[in-house]
Amino acid sequence: MDRSKIQGSITGVKFPSGADGCAGADVVIIDLARNADAIEAIAEAEPNAKILGFGSHVDTKGLEAARGAGAHLVMARSQFFRDPLAAVTGLLTK
């Protein structure tokens, strides 16, 4: 369901299975509940990519850990899915 919401909002989206698949990406979106531990590997595989992580608003430690690991923008899941395109566009214009 998350994939379909993202694909419906943002064109040109790919869903790589690992950090190496992120090479050449402008933005990498990470579901922190599933892949928070991949942030550093993604930053290493594509240092120019902006990393956007979303997760549970009650997991404040997880959200802070994502920031500490190198995510450029971390937001609550509900906030991200309210308007995924606006979140990505905002990140790219920072």
- Domain boundaries along the sequence of the chain: 2-92
The predicted-structure confidence for 65-82, as pLDDT tens digits, reads as follows 999 999 999 999 999 999
* DSSP secondary structure, 76-91, as one string: EHHHHHH-HHHHHHHH
SS3 12: coil
The predicted-structure confidence for 21-61, as pLDDT tens digits, reads as follows 999 999 999 999 999 999 999 999 999 999 999 999 999 99
Beta strands in 1-94 (DSSP E): 27-31, 50-55, 73-76
What pLDDT is recorded for position 17? Answer: 85
**CA 49 – CA 27 distance, rounded (Å):** 5
User: What is the average per-residue pLDDT within 11-18?
Assistant: 88
| pLDDT of 1 above 90 | no
What six digits make up the tokens of 76?
Answer: 């609550």
Cα-Cα-Cα-Cα torsion 58, 36, 52, 40, nearest 10 degrees, comes to 140
CATH number of 2-92, picked from 1.10.606.20, 3.65.10.10, 3.40.50.2300, 3.30.70.260: 3.40.50.2300
Burial class of residue 17 (count of CB atoms within 10 Å of its CB; 0-12, 13-18, 19+): exposed
